Amino acid sequence: MQTQASISQNGQSHSYADFKDVFIKSNIQYYRKALEEKKEKSSHLDSQKDYFQSIIYGKNKIKLIDEEYKFDDGLIVSSTDLKGIITYANRKFCEISGYTKDELVGKNHNIIRHPHMPRVVFKELWNSLHSGNEWKGIVKNLRNDGRYYWAYSHIMPIVEDKIVIGYSATKRPVLASELSQAIELYKRLLNEESY
Ligand SMILES: Cc1cc2nc3c(=O)[nH]c(=O)nc-3n(C[C@H](O)[C@H](O)[C@H](O)COP(=O)(O)O)c2cc1C
């Protein structure tokens, strides 16, 4: 007795079993496609979620506070390896960023990256360093308590025996005239990047 429903094609009768493999194969293809679409959708949503979270919390998931922490005297000094991992932090860096030396050393320098900084600024920074040049510019940095501080940064390669072994940065307070220009420029760049 035939247990499967019969399917008639070109006058010939076929059982379900004859078509089973074709059905299963096409189902697998269908589910695979649906799964890929779902993955694509959810990764798009994830990246949107990440983007909005980074605006609110910064890369380091610190809740942003719209309040400046004044850096108005002294020099912040830090060094990194070739990948931007902090190898040295002076006392001023700790005081202004709110982190201890132990919390800073061994971490990527982006630990103090503020989400209001345009990505293109860091792209330019690394392009300069990778071509063996120094980089000067203004950075808005994130303290560990969510407040921000501005600094005029001078970063250069550390060279030993003609080989670049890392980078060092000195940061001084920003002048009022420099700051107003940077705020204007970064706002425009950030706006462009969000489109
Ligand atoms: C010596 C040195 C100092 C740096 N200082 C800062 C800084 O003060 N603030 C900052 O956001 N990034 C700084 N950077 C760049 C960071 O390594 C990083 O590229 C940046 O925060 C952007 O993060 P991302 O590369 O993960 O997007 C510095 C890099 C080097 C090599």
Check residues 25 and 77 and name the one with the higher pLDDT. 77
Binding site membership of 141 for ligand 1 (Cβ less than 6 Å)? yes
Say how far apart CA 109 and CA 112 lie, in whole Å: 6
Q: Which class would CATH give 76-193?
A: alpha beta
Cβ pair 141, 151 in contact under 8 A: yes
Residue 172 in this model has a pLDDT that exceeds 70:
yes
Say how far apart CA 2 and CA 178 lie, in whole Å: 87
Residues 6+ apart with CB under 8 A from 96: 69, 71, 76, 143, 149, 151
Check residues 16 and 117 and name the one with the higher pLDDT. 117
23-67 residue pLDDT tens: 556 555 655 666 666 566 555 555 565 555 555 555 667 899 999
Average pLDDT on 90-100 reads: 98
15 Cα–ligand 1 center, Å: 67
42 Cα–ligand 1 center, Å: 30
106-165 residue pLDDT tens: 999 999 999 999 999 999 999 999 999 999 999 999 999 999 999 999 999 999 999 999
Binding site membership of 143 for ligand 1 (Cβ less than 6 Å)? no
Tokens of 60: 């380091």
| Of the candidates 171, 54, 191, 172, the residue with the CA atom closest to the CA atom of residue 113 | 54
Binding site membership of 84 for ligand 1 (Cβ less than 6 Å)? yes
pLDDT at 182: 95
Question: Which residue among 125, 127, 189 has the greatest number of ligand 1 atoms within 8 angstroms of its CB, and so is best to mutate?
Answer: 125
Mean pLDDT lowest among 16-25, 34-43, 92-101, 162-171: 16-25
Binding site membership of 155 for ligand 1 (Cβ less than 6 Å)? yes
Residue 78 in this model has a pLDDT that exceeds 60:
yes
Binding site membership of 97 for ligand 1 (Cβ less than 6 Å)? no
Q: What are the residue boundaries of the structural domains of the chain, listed by start? A: 6-57, 76-193
Residue 83 in this model has a pLDDT that exceeds 60:
yes
Closest CA to ligand 1's atom 22? 110
